[in-house]
Amino acid sequence: MESHEYDVVIVGGGGAGLRAAIELGESFPKLRIAVVSKVYPMRSHTVAAEGGAAAVIKSNDSLENHCHDTVSGSDWLGDQDVIETFVKEAPDELIRMEHWGCPWSREPNGQVAVRPFGGMVIERTWFAADKTGFHMLHTLYQTALKFQSLKWYDEWFVTKLLVDNGRCQGVAAIELLTGQLHAILGKAVILCTGGAGRLFPFTTNGAIKTGDGMFLAYQAGVALKDMEFVQYHPTGLPGSGILITEAARGEGGILTNKDGYRYLQDYGLGPPEPFRKRAMELGPRDRLSQAFVQEEAKGRTISTPFGSAVYLDLRHLGEATINKKLPFVRELSKNYAGIDPVYKPIPVRPVIHYVMGGVDTDVEGATVVPGLYAAGECACISLNGANRLGSNSLTELLVFGRRAAHAAAQFAAENPALASEKLKAQASDEQERIASQFIRKQGGNERVATLRLELNRLMEAGAGIYRSGDGLQKACSGIAALKDRFRNVALDDRSLSYNTELISVLELEFLLDIGQSLLHSALCRTESRGSHQRTDHTARDDQKFLKHSMAYRTDAEPRIEYKDVVITRWPPKERVYGK
């Protein structure tokens, strides 16, 4: 068993992982840092982000506004201390990105331009045309590359956290090139592994978003928090699930039904005129996706070969604006839907986009397991609550990637000793588990692809935009049965080098467990809040459920407990848009 020793191990080379890496390289140059990523960093999902990153910069905006939008967007489930920290540190982070070379789009006078985004009372979303994530990830990667203290483990797949004496001290990871498992030891570990949209069949998320870090922490005893809250983005391309960014509506795009009618006005999102922020097409994503389902039930959507859809109409913006502000939207629509939005409206439907829940951490990114930290989409630091506002996430990666790096560096300094031999023995056990369970296994008649497809269908049927107790119960039984069947899974590929089937089976194992935590958290939450809408419990119930769900892993079903929400300055109120 080969092993490697570091001060801090970062798992993930997306926006959160790279921001943490830069902070460690810059502020703690003596520390040795490993950045482990299952794909080359530039292929992380952050690269696909289109619309922009939120932070207060204009004099007509205020920190108070950004806090309030985020609190009400979260349906009061976001922790307000976290939200205040986030909003305060956000502008500095985006300015720092500018200094590192991020090409933010600008106004004619040279100032940074901002665009409106859903659920926000004023324009505060910084953008780089509609390829913001691409430019941000490039900026972070080129900045990170200059630090000699960072060692890159590209195309290494982490399968397990190494925990001794209750303290996390590294990871077991497969080098995909050789298929060999190594122990990568670290005095502290930061999980930055992204989301889990691939639980569902129809998603904007890249194939790598399989909730790996969520599972790793869950297995190590950390609760998965608020897993029942999953975001549908209202405008995905039918069939592929490719995202048409909210920036399209931010720039003035409208949603119409089959009769050309702006149907959102029928769902408490305001009259179309006069134009208002936080209204109509600029309402929050949960409300827009729910309106779609109701419009579909009324038979007022259009049919496509890939299910019902409504129209996103950009024609009135004109070719010049579309080319300048939304070039990628035009490219994607032409290439993947055969529609040029300059001349025709784009058919769109809600698509799974983001998991609000994740690894339970405090505001420094620390989990309850000493030495283990998390940041980015895999973490639930409780910024997003029951519904994330578009463009808060890219900024979240920066603010909390940096904070987690600080906390991890401090922990590493205070806890220098590593239980190296014991950790290496654990990694050997992990290698043997994988070999005996998958590579050398005889018999077994279940296939990875079949089980994954069934899991996807079950999640969509049980935990879609609207949920019911019966449907969730059925999905909980279904996923338990799938976990049983997983024991019989067999691989066709027994080779070592770049065995993608092996990686898929490990990802499926993660997905089954975190999917189960999601379904059970949703079943226990007998209220409707944000993205979690129950047809059998239609009201928000602050008395009982102004609380975070905490799912703990057990040998049987997850155990669900609750934790208080932190309220500082904004007591719960009705969530009103369109006024």
Ligand X SMILES: Cc1cc2nc3c(=O)[nH]c(=O)nc-3n(C[C@H](O)[C@H](O)[C@H](O)COP(=O)(O)OP(=O)(O)OC[C@H]3O[C@@H](n4cnc5c(N)ncnc54)[C@H](O)[C@@H]3O)c2cc1C
**With CB under 6 A as the contact rule, which of the stretches 200-208, 288-296, 408-416, 456-464 interacts with ligand X?**
200-208
**With CB under 6 A as the contact rule, which of the stretches 70-78, 104-112, 375-383, 414-422 interacts with ligand X?**
375-383
The SS3 call for residue 181 is strand
Q: Where are the alpha helices (DSSP H) in 79-233?
A: 80-99, 132-144, 212-219
Cβ pair 352, 382 in contact under 8 A: no
User: Which residue is at the shortest CB distance from ligand X?
Assistant: 14
128 vs 223, beta carbon nearer ligand X: 128
285 vs 520, beta carbon nearer ligand X: 285
**With CB under 6 A as the contact rule, which of the stretches 45-53, 297-305, 331-339, 519-527 interacts with ligand X?**
45-53
Strand 150-154 relative to strand 33-37, pairing: parallel
Binding pattern for the stretch 177-196 against ligand X, x by CB under 6 A and - elsewhere: ---------------xxxx-
**With CB under 6 A as the contact rule, which of the stretches 108-116, 338-346, 389-397, 494-502 interacts with ligand X?**
389-397
Give least dist CB 274 to ligand X, A: 27
The reply on whether position 70 binds ligand X by CB under 6 A is: no
The reply on whether position 393 binds ligand X by CB under 6 A is: yes
As a whole number of angstroms, the distance between CA 270 and CA 255 comes to 13
The SS3 call for residue 247 is helix
CA-angle at 380, arms to 376 and 385, nearest 5°: 115
The reply on whether position 49 binds ligand X by CB under 6 A is: yes
Cβ pair 86, 383 in contact under 8 A: yes
Among 394, 412, 455, 522, binds ligand X (CB under 6 A): 394
As a whole number of angstroms, the distance between CA 102 and CA 111 comes to 14
Give least dist CB 233 to ligand X, A: 8
Cβ pair 549, 91 in contact under 8 A: no
The reply on whether position 169 binds ligand X by CB under 6 A is: no
- Residue 533's closest CA among 461, 578, 473, 468? 468
Among 67, 176, 222, 243, binds ligand X (CB under 6 A): 243
Q: Which residues contact 435 (CB under 8 A, 6 or more apart)?
A: none
Measure CA 524 to chain center.
22
Give least dist CB 250 to ligand X, A: 10
The reply on whether position 205 binds ligand X by CB under 6 A is: yes
The reply on whether position 51 binds ligand X by CB under 6 A is: yes
The reply on whether position 158 binds ligand X by CB under 6 A is: yes
37 vs 169, beta carbon nearer ligand X: 37
As a whole number of angstroms, the distance between CA 242 and CA 238 comes to 8
Tokens 């983005």 map to which residue? 233
296 vs 430, beta carbon nearer ligand X: 430
As a whole number of angstroms, the distance between CA 103 and CA 211 comes to 31
Q: Which residues contact 504 (CB under 8 A, 6 or more apart)?
A: 448, 449, 452
As a whole number of angstroms, the distance between CA 152 and CA 36 comes to 6
As a whole number of angstroms, the distance between CA 439 and CA 241 comes to 33
Residues 396-425 that bind ligand X (CB under 6 A): 397
The reply on whether position 365 binds ligand X by CB under 6 A is: no
270 vs 365, beta carbon nearer ligand X: 365
3-state secondary structure 67-87: HHHHHHHCCCCCCHHHHHHHH
Burial, 276: exposed, middle or buried (Cβ in 10 Å; 0-12, 13-18, 19+)? Answer: middle
The reply on whether position 46 binds ligand X by CB under 6 A is: yes
The reply on whether position 208 binds ligand X by CB under 6 A is: yes
The SS3 call for residue 558 is coil
HSE-up (13 A, CA, CB side) for residue 467: 33
The reply on whether position 45 binds ligand X by CB under 6 A is: yes
The reply on whether position 241 binds ligand X by CB under 6 A is: no
The reply on whether position 129 binds ligand X by CB under 6 A is: no
Among 7, 9, 10, 13, binds ligand X (CB under 6 A): 13
53 vs 279, beta carbon nearer ligand X: 53
As a whole number of angstroms, the distance between CA 494 and CA 62 comes to 58
DSSP state at residue 356: -
The reply on whether position 22 binds ligand X by CB under 6 A is: no
- As given in the structure block, the two tokens for residue 555 are 């040998």
Among 9, 25, 37, 380, binds ligand X (CB under 6 A): 37
The reply on whether position 234 binds ligand X by CB under 6 A is: no
The reply on whether position 133 binds ligand X by CB under 6 A is: yes
Among 212, 251, 360, 430, binds ligand X (CB under 6 A): 212
As a whole number of angstroms, the distance between CA 285 and CA 410 comes to 38
As a whole number of angstroms, the distance between CA 204 and CA 242 comes to 5
Report which residue type is found at 458. L
The reply on whether position 355 binds ligand X by CB under 6 A is: no
Cβ pair 367, 550 in contact under 8 A: no
The reply on whether position 352 binds ligand X by CB under 6 A is: no
Cβ pair 277, 124 in contact under 8 A: no
427 vs 472, beta carbon nearer ligand X: 427
Give least dist CB 332 to ligand X, A: 10
- As given in the structure block, the two tokens for residue 314 are 């950009």
Among 70, 391, 426, 516, binds ligand X (CB under 6 A): 391
393 vs 549, beta carbon nearer ligand X: 393
The reply on whether position 204 binds ligand X by CB under 6 A is: yes
**With CB under 6 A as the contact rule, which of the stretches 36-44, 322-330, 535-543, 567-575 interacts with ligand X?**
36-44
Among 6, 28, 33, 38, binds ligand X (CB under 6 A): 38
The catalytic residue positions are 233, 249
Give least dist CB 257 to ligand X, A: 25
The reply on whether position 123 binds ligand X by CB under 6 A is: no
The SS3 call for residue 414 is helix
Give least dist CB 438 to ligand X, A: 15
**What is the contact surface with ligand X in residues (CB under 6 A)?**
11-17, 36-39, 41, 44-46, 48-53, 132-133, 157-158, 192-195, 204-205, 208-209, 212, 243, 354, 376-378, 390-394, 397
